Amino acid sequence: VQLQASGGGLVQAGGSLRLSCAASGSIPSVNVMGWYRQAPGTQREVVAAITTVGAINYADSAKGRFTISKDSSKNTIYLQMNSLKPEDTAVYYCNIIGVGPRDYGRVYWGKGTQVTVSS
């Protein structure tokens, strides 16, 4: 499975960015796809996740500002980030986790995309 993330960049505080992550290959049929981020000197943390059937969860830091969505026909998830803050600066990663009986526990990560929010 390959995951290709894109859409990062430099934006001023209060601005918006939209990240995309396209999955290809032997994608687990029942899965959770998510966005994580890692700032320098910190652990990677989950930002938002969406299941095969569309159930969504957000980290508290993302609620009200970020929106995760997916286009199942393209095996792609998106993260719309609004009202960005300097503390959102991090490398953002997407991943996919198999949660069905055949693929349970399979985890794949994409290469990250840098998001930098200037004050």
Tens-place pLDDT, residues 27-36:
999 999 999 9
- Ramachandran bin of 86, using left for φ above 0, alpha for ψ from -120 to 50, beta for the remaining angles: alpha
Tens-place pLDDT, residues 11-69:
999 999 999 999 999 999 999 999 999 999 999 999 999 999 999 999 999 999 999 99
Query: What are the DSSP E strand ranges found in the chain?
Result: 2-6, 9-12, 17-24, 31-38, 45-51, 56-58, 66-71, 76-81, 90-98, 107-109, 113-118
- Binning pLDDT at 50, 70 and 90, where does residue 82 land? very high
CA distance 91 to 101: 31
